[in-house]
């Protein structure tokens, strides 16, 4: 019998309560989640092995250091098809200039279903754009 592996997400959020809420939502939907509390930590995790993740979810404003925009750009340098979901309370207007192509932006506050829908939609887009196996 083949072991089923959870799809692994990287969640970057500097607000502990919002991180816990998002992590609980994602785990409840069947995803594995690794968290980072700031851009520096997220970049270290991505640089170590970006390919283990099926998608990246990041807040944009992460305090001092790299922003969520930086996180999105770096992961796309390493894995060009990586789904990126941005979350923000105040930076939505910057998305067209700073966000990576084919990403999703979720304005805060959001309901859990919005996060799951964003991740699922991007994962489905990647899956349907892959060449057939064989």
**Tens digit of each residue's pLDDT (9 = 90 or more) over 23-69:** 999 999 999 999 999 999 999 999 999 999 999 999 999 999 999 99
31 assigned to some structural domain? yes
35 assigned to some structural domain? yes
- Note the pTM of the prediction, 2 decimals: 0.91
Domain of 54 in residue numbering reads as: 8-124
3 assigned to some structural domain? no
Helices (H), the chain: 16-28, 39-49, 68-78, 95-98, 112-129
Domain count, the chain: 1
First to last CA, the chain: 22
Q: What percent of the chain has pLDDT over 90?
A: 86
134 assigned to some structural domain? no
Is residue 1 scored above 80 in pLDDT? Answer: no
30 assigned to some structural domain? yes
């Amino acid at each position: 019998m083949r072991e089923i592996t959870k799809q692994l997400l990287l969640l970057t959020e500097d607000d502990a309560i919002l991180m816990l809420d998002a992590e609980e939502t994602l785990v409840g939907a069947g995803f594995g989640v690794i968290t980072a509390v700031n851009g520096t930590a997220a970049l270290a995790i991505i640089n170590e092995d970006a390919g283990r993740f099926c998608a990246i979810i990041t807040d944009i404003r992460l305090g001092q250091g790299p922003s969520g925009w930086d996180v999105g750009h770096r992961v796309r340098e390493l894995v060009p098809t990586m789904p990126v979901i941005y979350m923000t309370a105040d930076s939505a207007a910057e998305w067209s200039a700073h966000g990576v192509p084919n990403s999703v932006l979720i304005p805060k506050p959001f309901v859990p279903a919005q996060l799951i829908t964003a991740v699922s939609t991007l994962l489905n887009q990647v899956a349907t754009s892959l060449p057939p196996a064989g």
